[in-house]
Amino acid sequence: MSKEKVQIFDTTLRDGEQVPGCKLDTKEKLVIAERLDILGVDVIEAGFPISSPGDFRSVTEIAQIVKNATVCGLTRAVKKDIEVAAEALKQAKRPRIHTGIGTSDSHIQFKFNSTREKVLERAVEAVKYAKSFVEDVEFYAEDAGRTDNEYLARVCEAVIAAGATVLNIPDTTGYCLPEEYGAKMKYLKENVKGIEKAILSCHCHNDLGLATANSIAGVINGARQIECTINGIGERAGNTSLEEVVMILRQHPYLELDTDINSKLLYSTSQMVSQKMGMPVQPNKAIVGSNAFAHSSGIHQDGVIKKRETYEIIDPHDVGVDHSSIVLTARSGRAALAYRAKKVGYELTKVQLDKVYEEFLKFADRKKEIEDEDIHQIVDASNVNIESIA
Ligand code: KIV
Ligand code: ZN
């Protein structure tokens, strides 16, 4: 089955780094950029060069070291921003300028005190100007999620004619429902003249917890790039999480869409970003959270021990986690206790297991989680004559 490629545009170092407390210095950004390149992302949004001398330096240095991915710099639809971004990207093997402007009536009226016509003109001018520096120009229609589709289509048509290679349709406020966001992509695919010359891109925020679902709806309806971050970090409730969209496409082959991401590096990349940004990963985070492959209820544990697939839809090795874990709590059953006891050296007969399990429940009621060292104490306290197999 031949799959169509969805490009992964990573914005951990730009939208992700906008999170309060997640600021990185250039050295840290270089380490993450190198890792993203190895991970297999197609585009690294390295920063917003005009925003500070530090960001300018980071984009410049990332542009010099990245070997495979396109390196991208963000700008507003402002000449000076575009000039500074072009300068920072000068040494990139594959440079991209990402320019744009708000297109919703709310942005046009309250941010710019302008009109739809004037905003459209500024969009076109910005793309033309960016195009005088680089071949690859991505245009973002900020707040596209709340932009009238007909007007959005006119803007898209005009910027494609001006040379835009990628059209970013951000749900900046995370407001859209998946059906709505998917329908927006379909509308643009069907109503924008010249759309075959550009790639439609999803850029979804997570204010209602729908960023991943919206991005998937976007690609099902014709988009071929997803903008996302490691661990889903980003403004407010965050961006689409890279690891989630990559594994959704991989676990659903009938969609006939895939990315070039080396999924075995997902867990270690998640840990690296979390550690460098000082931003812990919530334990129940899909794919990379510490509980993503941990089983604690007796019924689930019994199933997983018999056959992993009974309660796991992803092989943990596929995302770089070396094993599923059987967590011992007061909700665990005999199968889990026997399994963990064997791992620390005790092969229990059925009779022995019954006795040890009784002792285990007393322990487990006092302690949230039973560790390997507790198992030795439990076995001792249960007074059964067990030969250690270790
Ligand atoms: O969320 C957004 O609209 C953005 C743009 C600047 C691309 O981050
Ligand atoms: Zn954003």
- What does the DSSP 8-state code read for residue 52? -
Model confidence at 390, in pLDDT bands (50, 70, 90)?
A: very low
Considering the chain, tell me which residue range(s) the CATH 3.20.20.70 domain(s) occupy. 4-277
pLDDT: which is higher, 237 or 388: 237
Q: What is the pLDDT, as a whole number, of residue 385?
A: 76
CA pair distance 264, 262, nearest whole angstrom: 6
Nearest residue CA, atom 5 of ligand 1? 142
Q: Which residues surround ligand 2, an ion (CB under 5 A)?
A: 15
Distances (CA, A) of 198 to 158, 162, 166, 189, 190: 12, 11, 5, 10, 13
- Any residues with CB less than 8 A from the CB of 244 and at least 6 apart, and which? 212, 232, 286, 287
Where does ligand 1 bind, in terms of residues with CB under 6 Å?
A: 15, 140, 142, 168, 170, 172, 203, 205
What is the average pLDDT across 187-202?
98
Q: Which of 336, 249, 237, 258 is nearest to 42 (CA)?
A: 258
pLDDT tens-digit series, residues 278-314: 999 999 999 999 999 999 999 999 999 999 999 999 9
- Which ligand has the shortest distance to the CA of 233? 2
Token duo for residue 327? 């967590």
Q: What does the buried/exposed string (b/e) look like for 297-310 if buried means 16 or more CB atoms within 10 Å of the residue's CB?
A: ebebbbbbbeebee
| pLDDT score at 388 | 55
The predicted-structure confidence for 61-91, as pLDDT tens digits, reads as follows: 999 999 999 999 999 999 999 999 999 999 9
The yes-or-no verdict on residue 377 having pLDDT over 60 is yes
In a 3-state reduction of DSSP, which class is residue 103?
A: coil
What is the rounded average pLDDT for all residues in the chain? 96
CA of 106 to the centre of ligand 2 (A): 17
| Separation of CA 142 and ligand 1 centre (Å) | 6
Residue 389's pLDDT band (cuts 50, 70, 90): low
pLDDT of residue 154 exceeding 90: yes
Q: Which CATH number fits domain 4-277: 3.30.530.50, 3.65.10.10, 3.20.20.70, 3.30.70.1520?
A: 3.20.20.70
